Structure 1
């Protein structure tokens, strides 16, 4: 067992030298991006997305807090294991639209205070940091 640990130590140290290649490495970790539109239409609810640490996503959907792992290298975007609280509110239809769109996104673009998530099918979500 000691030989295995000794053999794996250089790999562990080498992986620590590589920067975060997910979107988390390309945004300000304290920034919170607010959704302003989905597919060109203004979003009438309140929803946010943030990247608090490498490979992690967290935010507020119209009703519930959520979190997930961001598993693709930038500029690709892929969420895995989306979890959310389960509170009911009058905006559950907006929350459903938000999560459906978020799960469809496959590309990310960060420019200044704007984050655009999109996919090859033409869907798009535009967020602005506040």
Structure 2
């Protein structure tokens, strides 16, 4: 009898040990998924692709517009855009859809190709310390994301004259005169030229949104020039602007509703500004 009792005690210990392990793996009794729910809102740097660390001058990143389910960012050369859907019933599941990129050519497209291929494989996510890994259907990490620090900005930083150096990623070339914008923050006015004609207008901001920016009442003269395509693209881009960001090198990106850059500006000296 003593031997049987001891055997039962050993079996009971093994059973409870196995049950405890199963509970730990499945978050038994907690009513919660064992995968932490991630708030993707904002922008994230892509720091690894397929296990290889990313080192690039134009570091790729992803931005998530949670309310609109919109995905935007940069793949290393070109701007990317698309959609995403989080599985609210199963934490750790995410799906990217209709991811597309602009078609500008860069000296080395390897990183961009790897980023886009990896995005097409994403089926889930998990936290890795303070970072987030995007995994494929088999749970293998294909992209590692690191939250971007949001720098404090002020519309006062825009005051003065700026050269328009690119429109939606395309450098401005072969124009009648170099296009520029001059901000008068005190009066909330802007003037300049769109490569041919003089432009004038105003700008507004959303209350409590320091980086918001929207142009309004923009008018231009009606002079004809040999190449009006650049001017047309600039005027269209100005109408799409909804916010701005100041980069580490001092240049300014004017962004559309999806967070993608529509105009890039470079600061001008006072002697270079239009009267």
Q: Aligned partners of 1:79, 1:43: CA distance in 2, in Å?
A: 21
| Corresponding residue number in structure 1 for 2:65 | 52
Tell me if 1:125 matches 2:143.
yes
2:236 matched residue in structure 1: none
Change (3 A) 1:118 1:28: closer
Q: Tell me the equivalent position of 1:64.
A: 78
| TM-score (structure 2 length as normaliser) | 0.35
Cα distance in 2, alignment partners of residues 117 and 28 from structure 1: 11
* C-alpha spacing 1:118/1:87, structure 2 compared with 1 (3 Å): same
**Is there any run of 5+ residues in structure 2 with no aligned partner, and where?**
1-36, 149-275
Aligned counterparts of 2:77 and 2:101: Cα–Cα separation in 1: 10
CA distance in 2, matches of 1:28, 1:78: 13
CA distance in 2, matches of 1:56, 1:110: 21
Which consecutive aligned stretches of 4+ in structure 1 deviate over 4 angstroms post-superposition? 110-113
* 1:53-98 alpha-carbon deviations (Å, 9 max, x no partner): 3322111111111111113414212211112211111131210011
Residue aligning to 1:77: 94
Matches within 5 A, 1:1-130: 26-27=38-39, 29=41, 31-45=42-56, 46-54=59-67, 55-73=69-87, 74-110=91-127, 113-119=130-136, 120=138, 122-130=140-148
List gaps (5 residues or longer) in structure 1: 1-24
Are the aligned partners of 1:71 and 1:79 in contact in 2 as well (CA < 8 Å)?
Answer: yes
More helix by share: 1
Contact 1:27 1:110 in 2 (8 A): no
Report 1 or 2 for greater relative contact order, CA contacts < 8 Å, sequence distance ≥ 6: 1
Number of positions where the alignment pairs a residue of Structure 1 with one of Structure 2:
105
2:220 matched residue in structure 1: none
Which entry has the higher C-alpha Rg, 1 or 2?
Answer: 2
Partner of 2:25: none
**RMSD across aligned positions (CA):** 2.2
Normalising by structure 1, report the TM-score: 0.69
